[in-house]
Amino acid sequence: MYLEKDIVKEGNALLNQKCKKVSLPLSSDDEACIRGLYEYMVVSAVDELVEKYKIRPGVGIAAPQVGVEKRMFAINCVDFLDEEQKQYCYAWINPQIVATSKKMTYLPGGEGCLSVDRTTEGLVTPRHMSIKVKGTIYDFNTRKLKNISMLLTGYPAIVFQHEYDHLDGILYTSKMYKPEELDEDIVPLYTINEKGEALVEENE
């Protein structure tokens, strides 16, 4: 499994390179990479393991963040704004975004990244509210590959777009704005009420 020492940090030229397509079937090195990315995502979701391995928790990690210039990433996030609290835990290989919504949104608290250690408080990154994606996913247990497509909306879509940017050598820090600088039709994904609950914007 990858550890904190393996994470490439902001300022390293590796994070600004466009990644190469992964050849299939997977080579042993590429399989080791995608397994390592997926395992980091699973382990970083467990508080006890985060403390044990001294790693930063996250919801996504891309191959260039561990020095591998290949089009692979893993995500592990829960759609906390959905009643079903659906979990999106996937190891993506050669992912593609094939369609995007016109509507844009952003996380009101801003985004974070395992490769960025500085604070970016008060700045947000506009993203498409919905995206249609396709690609190959790797099953960690069976070690088999499967071609899939899916529609992602809201938080999972934002997570996917963040990791997808990494494959094109783009850090979210290069796309940040103050909320007041955005067009008025780009709304936050949610707002917080008096009870501290996240509420989806009604005009989505």
Nearest-5° angle of CA 169, CA 175, CA 179? 160
Q: Catalytic one among 163, 181, 197, 202?
A: 163
* Whether 138 contacts 34, CB under 8 Å: yes
Neighbours of 148 (CB within 10 A): 12
Torsional sign, CA 119, 74, 78, 44:
negative
Residues 19 and 23: their CA atoms lie apart, in Å, by 12
Active-site residue flag, 163 = yes
3-state DSSP call for residue 23? Answer: coil
**Alpha helices, DSSP H only, in the chain?**
28-43, 47-53, 155-167
* Whether 60 contacts 155, CB under 8 Å: no
Burial state string for 167-182 with b = 16 or more CB within 10 A and e = fewer than 16: bebbbbeebbeeeeee
Residues 56 and 36: their CA atoms lie apart, in Å, by 15
**Which residues are known catalytic residues?**
163
